[in-house]
Amino acid sequence: MDCDAAPDRLTDSLGRALRDLRISVTDRCNFRCSYCMPKEVFDHRHAFLAHKELLSFEEITRLARVFVAQGVCKIRLTGGEPLLRKDLEHLVRMLSALRTPDCRAVDLTLTTNGSVLAKKAQALRDAGLSRIAVSVDAIDDTVFRRMNDVDFPVADVLEGIAAAQRAGFAPIKINMVVKRGTNDHQILPMVEHFRGSGVILRFIEFMDVGSTNGWRMDEVLPSADLIALINARYPLEALEPAAIGETAQRWRYRDGAGEIGVISSVTRAFCRDCTRLRLSTEGKVYLCLFAHQGHDLRTLLRSGCDDGHIASTIAQIWSHRSDRYSELRSSGQASRDSGVRRIEMHYIGG
Ligand code: SAM
Ligand code: SF4
Ligand code: SF4
């Protein structure tokens, strides 16, 4: 649906509408990508959330309904690895039944590492999901296994993508986080693999999210350099953004082999148009990926209050929002070393 056409129901203190809700359905994952859940930190001693702490599918759907009534028109399911949450297709079915105040379906999508997608693709499609993003950091099997750090083969993820294509998902997006010196030599092989296949490859700058991934600026490959590299081999032209607040800048191959995107979270902050709110697995909302603290909605949900009360709480939280971390970091007014622990990517889902 065209989110831009929907009326602004809630705006924050910088005039940004609430449009986009990211829901983390689990803090667990079967991969240990070093930029997200480094093995040394997320080992057997790490305490993941207990089942009773998680929002149930009914609680998630109830909150999502309240958010949609307040202007949210896009929902992304994420994690951790969302496909590890048992019976996720039931949640997909419940969310795909939601309608905006002007009676349109919500734009529902899911981000996955693809490890169990081959098994799940058809059930997800049948439940009403039509868009999907799969994270693939390398096409070379050795590099891929090193990136996920659990020795998972790339062939199984490619089989998941093929299953998603057969099930009729469109568009399918592939997300590649690029770390200079680790997988930047995989950029052209990834381009060559996915060009002309109909899927959209998107390159994400390695972000300084969380406090555990050992982020260093010299491991960030600026998107401008990446585009120059691809353009020298496969000439590109820029495309207009498809929607306000879109995180990716879009490009297309001049020879007609399709589209790619770059998400330049570090070198080109896009806070000005940030319409995203994040709901954690345990029911806290976060106003920014780089927030230190969330606002607890689970207690409200479980206290027996009505939807009107939840709606006014959300309105109050959003109306006070002034977060713009990436812009402040770019202008030297914020740094990751403030001494306060930030939320981790696997917990909030990107
Ligand atoms: N497990 C799923 C997956 O990997 O697609 C969903 C959750 S994952 C946290 C969501 C996205 O965040 C993935 O595309 C992942 O590559 C990206 N991501 C995680 N840590 C990142 C970081 N430090 N910088 C940039 N992107 C990151
Ligand atoms: Fe798991 Fe996704 Fe994080 Fe990798 S990026 S560790 S697959 S949650
Ligand atoms: Fe949005 Fe925060 Fe990212 Fe800026 S830094 S784009 S406000 S999530």
Domain boundaries, the chain: 3-348
pLDDT reported for residue 342: 74
| Centre of ligand 2 from the C-alpha of residue 346, in Å | 6
350 lines ligand 2 (CB under 6 A): no
Superfamily name with CATH number, domain 3-348: Aldolase class I (3.20.20.70)
| Centre of ligand 1 from the C-alpha of residue 303, in Å | 33
Looking at the DSSP bridge assignments, the partners of residue 237 are 252
Cβ–Cβ contacts within 10 Å for residue 233, how many?
11
Cβ–Cβ contacts within 10 Å for residue 222, how many?
17
Tell me, rounded to whole angstroms, the distance of Cα 329 from its chain centroid. 21
| Centre of ligand 2 from the C-alpha of residue 348, in Å | 11
> One-letter amino acid identity for 341?
R
Sheet holding 172-178, edge to edge: 236-238, 249-253, 259-263, 200-205, 172-178, 131-135, 107-112, 74-78, 20-24, 276-279, 284-286, 295-296
What gap in Å lies between CA 127 and CA 120, rounded to an integer? 11
What gap in Å lies between CA 223 and CA 238, rounded to an integer? 13
Question: CB neighbours of 107 closer than 8 A, spacing ≥ 6?
Answer: 1, 3, 73, 74, 75, 131
Q: Which atom of ligand 3 is nearest to the CA of 329?
A: 5
HSE on the CB side for 209, CA within 13 Å? 23
Bridging pattern class, strands 259-263 and 107-112: unpaired
pLDDT reported for residue 335: 67
pLDDT reported for residue 307: 96
323 lines ligand 3 (CB under 6 A): yes
* pTM of the entire predicted model: 0.95
Bridging pattern class, strands 284-286 and 295-296: antiparallel
206 lines ligand 2 (CB under 6 A): no
- Find out whether 267 and 273 touch, Cβ atoms under 8 Å: no
Bridging pattern class, strands 131-135 and 74-78: unpaired
26 lines ligand 2 (CB under 6 A): no
Rounded to 5 degrees, φ, ψ at 260 are -130, 170
Q: Whose CA is nearest to atom 2 of ligand 3?
A: 288
Q: Which ligand minimizes its atom distance to the CA of 245?
A: 3
What are the 10-residue block averages of pLDDT along the chain, 350 residues in total?
Answer: 69 96 97 95 93 97 97 97 98 98 96 98 97 98 98 98 97 97 97 97 93 88 97 97 83 98 91 95 95 94 95 97 89 67 78
What gap in Å lies between CA 211 and CA 340, rounded to an integer? 9
Maximal C-alpha separation, the chain: 60
Residue among 290, 320, 330 whose CB has most ligand 3 atoms within 8 A, to mutate: 290
Q: Which atom of ligand 3 is nearest to the CA of 325?
A: 5
